[in-house]
A and B are shown apart, each in its own frame.
Chain A
Amino acid sequence: MKKLITLMFLFSTSSVMANCKTSQTFNVEGIEHKLCYFKKGEAWVSPACMKKASCDALKIYEASTKKTVVVTEVEAEGGKNQSNIICQKLGGTVMMAKIPPRNSQQTFCQGKDKSLINANALD
């Protein structure tokens, strides 16, 4: 039984990684995350998300594409990054990443299962 579970785990992991053809490492709040390129959203997502809608970050992305979340003028005042507001309205948490070598900043939206997607993909 244990062998079967191990085999199933290995199979599911390898199939996820097989879908991760292009990856890039991001330092999100001090922790290195290897993220996969998600072509449809031109975004970077956690490897677990490469299986269709299998992670919370991708669920947040899919919900954002339905354009049901409205960011009001007051909420966006001062040129706020509206993607981040959408992330939070859809139950995500905004995390800051630094991109070497210049330390450029990029926010990511984290789902409840800790999966990530770059916040700009949400609109």
Chain B
Amino acid sequence: MIKKAHLLFALLTLLPFPAFARDCAEKDLNVAMTSPLTNMPVLDQDGSGSCYGHSAATLINYELLANGGAPFTGIHPLYGAWVEKYVNSTIKSDGLDSGEAVDVISSLKKKGYCSEIEVEKRLKKLKVDCAKGTTDAQLLHILELIYDNYSSFSFNPYANAVESAKKARASKKDYHITDCQIESVAAELRLKDMINIPATALLSKLFEGCKHEDLKVGEPKEEHIGSDEHMLNNVDNALNRDKPAEISICSKMFTDPNFKLNGVLPSVNRGSLLNIPSGCGGHSVVITGRKNVGGTCKYLLRNSWGSLWKADTATECACILNTGKYLDVCPDASIVREYLGCWFKEDILGKNIFGTTSF
């Protein structure tokens, strides 16, 4: 009996997509004027590898706004990524460039948060001289370079931190920041007596006086194991409850429609090295809609690459026109104020998802 059940499970996982009857009832969280998404800007993570922080912020801010919160009082995505790396975890050695949305949510639930407006005000104070015009993403990356190279045992911690940060920038080939920006930020930090301290202390000093609110959202549910179908079902479950879903994907699918995970047994973590092919370009995005087009289910994918982003492989993208009108399929880029995402067929999406998170 057990053997038969195993065999049936194995056969089911080998079946191609159309064999599954999908619930593809139309759901677009961008449509209703009362939707939290109408007050949530499309973000551009720029040169920071904080996609997971952006997705986490989208899920959290959606929840906060749905529960009556005011716009721009939610989570700053980069603050979320920083807290996850430097405050909640003491043993992680990876940089801001990798992480998971669920960890950001858990960290903020434990540590509380400083609102987006307050975070921006404080980051602005470090943008002086060469660092004027520095984006928040660049600034966080500069802080990361400086504090990753902090050592209290150094004879001259300031000079050591700056020189090490510059060397790290050169070796990482960080094109999106300059040595002059690093020097300006470091000089400002020294003026504020914040250079010779560990990263965790920087956070509490930089955000001193900022009211750290308790994050009152539910427990996020994440999954990394299961078939393509199972991953899409997780997305459906969230959408059916009028909530967006975070998905971890290979961003290569934006340029190559044939790209897919290796597809080893569903019992293996889809995000493991066994499953992730070379060139995947791991990324975290949010699904905000679903519709049935000629019997095929399509999902609306919201990215964090700016409000004029469109995927090469997507033929349909949703937008807000210059007139303020929302269209789920936009005909002409010249009349678009901002794109809200692009539609992807279920098979293309399903074979590239290696994790889901939702409330």
Stretch binding the partner chain, chosen from B13-21, B217-225, B301-309:
B301-309
Q: Does A32 touch B at the CB level, under 8 Å?
A: no
- Quick one: given A79-B282, A118-B308, are A84 and B133 in contact (CB under 8 Å)? no
Q: B155 an interface residue at 8 Å Cβ cutoff?
A: no
Whether A85 touches B175, Cβ cut-off 8 Å, given contacts A79-B45, A120-B308, is yes
* Residues of chain A with a CB closer than 8 A to B51's CB: 78-80
In chain A, residues 20-39, which have Cβ atoms closer than 8 Å to a Cβ of chain B? 22, 24, 29, 37, 39
- Contacts of B98 on A, CB cut-off 8 Å? 77-78
Which among B284, B285, B308 has the greatest number of chain A C-beta atoms within 10 A?
B308
Question: Which of the candidate stretches A6-14, A45-53, A97-105 sits at the interface with the other chain?
Answer: A97-105
| Contact surface of B with A, Cβ cutoff 8 Å | 38-52, 72, 96-99, 133, 135, 173, 175-176, 251, 255, 278-285, 304-310, 312, 322, 333-334, 337-338
**Chain A interface size, under 10 / 10 to 19 / 20 to 34 / 35 or more:** 35 or more
Residues in A neighbouring B45, C-beta threshold 8 A: 79-81
Tell whether A55 is near chain B: CB-to-CB under 8 Å.
Answer: no
Please determine whether B49 and A73 come into contact, CB atoms closer than 8 angstroms.
no
Interface of A is mostly: mixed
| Residue positions of A touching B, CB distance < 8 A | 22, 24, 29, 37, 39, 42-44, 73, 75-85, 88-89, 94-96, 99, 102-107, 118-120, 123
Q: Quick one: which of A76, A88, A89, A95 contacts B281, CB cutoff 8 A?
A: A76
B41 touches A102 (CB 8 A): yes
A73 touches B281 (CB 8 A): yes
Contacts of B305 in A (CB 8 A): 81, 83, 120
Chain B residues in 8 Å Cβ range of A77: 49, 97-98, 282
Known: A76-B281, A78-B98, A79-B45. A107 touches B304 (CB 8 A): no
